[in-house]
Each structure stands twice: as structure tokens, then as C-alpha cells.
Structure 1
Amino acid sequence: MTALLKLFLLRWFATKSLGGVVALLAVIALPLAGVLKVVGLPILAVLGVVALPIALVLGIIGLPLLLVAGAVGMIVAVLGAVLSLGLLAIKIVVPIVLVVWFVRWIFRRDKEPKPADTVGTAI
């Protein structure tokens, strides 16, 4: 059964490129990492939770351990950089947006409603 599963996964993996599988896992992992980071978990725990499924998929396929460790290490490094830069951007952008919205709300001009059009009404 495990040989059949390995054969199926290897055949599926051969039809898809390594980049495609990693990209699919990254698409799933990035939102998960963002949510876990917002919840307040330390970044190392977030990266571990995200890297575990990637390591398992690559290990089940039968790739050498060194290749799996290298691929997962690169993915975790990129994901860590994305999380750090994303949080930095959020810390900068959110206050600016809030100040702009507040200033626009304060200085908005209340426009008086226009009178209803009388076009098409016959008296």
C-alpha cells in the first residue's frame, strides 16, 4: 500500500514541477502564517507549523533528506522575510491610513441633497 501511495505521489509530483508544488504549498502556507502571527505566536513557532507539511510532502515522495532540508530551509527563510516585511509594512501603513481617513472625515463637506428632477412629470 505504501509503495502504491509512493508511486502515485511520485507520478503526480513528476507531472507537476517542484516549483508548482512549492508554490501551491506557499499559497496555502502564507495566509496561515499571517493568521498565526496576528494571533501572537512567536515567529519561530509559526514557521515550524508552516514548514512541517512541506517537509512531510517532500519526505513522502522520497527525496533525499538533505534536499528536503534545503528546500524547507529556503522556504522558511523566504516566509520569515515575507512575514517580517509584511508586519513592518502594516505597522507603517495602518496609522497613515487611519490619519488620512480621520482628516477626510473631519474636513468633509456635507453636501445638500439636490432637489428631485421634474423631468417627465406632467401637470
Structure 2
Amino acid sequence: MWLAIKALLLRWVLARSFGGLVSFLLLLAVPLAGVLKVVGLPLLIVVGIVGLPILLVLAVIGLPILLVVGTVGVIMAVVGTMLAAGLALLKIALPVIVVVLVARWVWGMVRGRRGDTGTTSESTPPATPPGPEAAS
């Protein structure tokens, strides 16, 4: 009887903790994996497009393969770092730009309402200077 109670208690604890952990990880991991797939594959393609021609040129020149792979690895690491930094800056700049555009739009709406007094500038005729055109 004691063994059955311990087995049921262990089953309940493992189901609660492991099942909760797995569901939480899936809840976070699936959207994150989708974003990484959308962003990561183009970055991988860019790094490959940059690295492959350099690899071929250095290999055709006749440099030792270790030197070629090391050089291309360093160049691809620099390009990858710059792409990551660019994405980080884009993540910061894009919300700032959106906030500025929305604030300008709201500011324009508020100023448009405040300046509206019921009379428009089109209802008053423009003053014409006296001259030969005004005489006719």
C-alpha cells in the first residue's frame, strides 16, 4: 500500500513539474523558433553568400586549407557580428520611429483642432494691392 501511495505521489509530482515545464517551454519556444526561422535563414544566406566566394578565391590562389578556412571564418564572424548588431539597432530604432510618427500624427490632430475657430482663411478674400489690375 505504501509503495502505491509513493508511486502515485511521484507520478503526480513528475507530471506537475515536468509537464508544466514542457508546456511552458513549448509556449515560449514555438513562437521564438518561428521568429528565428524567419530572421535567421536570411542571415545565414547572407553570411554564406559573403563567405563562399572568399573561400573559393583563397583556395584557387593556392593557400593552405587551414589558412583559407581560418580567414573565411574570421570574415564570416565579422559579417555575422555586424548583421547581429544591425538587427539589434533595428529593434531599437523601429519602435522609436513608430513612436515619433504616432506622436507627430497625434500632435497634428491636436493642433488642427485647437486652430479651428470656425472661420477659414479661404472665406476672407485676399487683399489686392492697388494698381493697374485692380482698376479693371
Q: Provide the C-alpha distance between the structure 2 equivalents of 1:67 and 1:120, rounded to a whole number of angstroms.
A: 86
1:102 equivalent in alignment to 2:102: yes
Higher relative helix content: 2
Pick closer, same or farther for the CA change 1:38–1:82 going to 2, 3 Å: farther
Give SS of 1:53's match.
helix
Q: Provide the C-alpha distance between the structure 2 equivalents of 1:101 and 1:121, rounded to a whole number of angstroms.
A: 47
Aligned to 1:77: 77
Q: Provide the C-alpha distance between the structure 2 equivalents of 1:56 and 1:116, rounded to a whole number of angstroms.
A: 73
Aligned to 2:89: 89
The normalised TM-score by structure 2 is 0.50
CA displacement at 1:39 relative to structure 2: 6.1
Identity, % of aligned pairs?
49
Q: Structure with the greater relative contact order (CA < 8 A, sep ≥ 6): 1 or 2?
A: 1
TM alignment of 1:1-80, pairs within 5 A: 40-41=40-41, 43-80=43-80
Q: Provide the C-alpha distance between the structure 1 equivalents of 2:130 and 2:54, rounded to a whole number of angstroms.
A: 67
Pick closer, same or farther for the CA change 1:55–1:105 going to 2, 3 Å: same
Matched residue type, 1:105: W
Pick closer, same or farther for the CA change 1:51–1:62 going to 2, 3 Å: same
Structure 2: gaps (5+ residues): 1-36
Give SS of 1:63's match.
coil
Structure showing greater radius of gyration is 2
Q: Provide the C-alpha distance between the structure 1 equivalents of 2:75 and 2:105, rounded to a whole number of angstroms.
A: 43
Pick closer, same or farther for the CA change 1:72–1:121 going to 2, 3 Å: farther
Structure 1: gaps (5+ residues): 1-36
CA deviations on 1:83-122 (whole Å, 9 max, x unpaired) are: 1111111011101110111101111234877987857974
Pick closer, same or farther for the CA change 1:95–1:117 going to 2, 3 Å: farther
Pick closer, same or farther for the CA change 1:88–1:121 going to 2, 3 Å: farther
The normalised TM-score by structure 1 is 0.54
CA deviations on 1:39-89 (whole Å, 9 max, x unpaired) are: 651644542332111101111122222221121011011111111111111
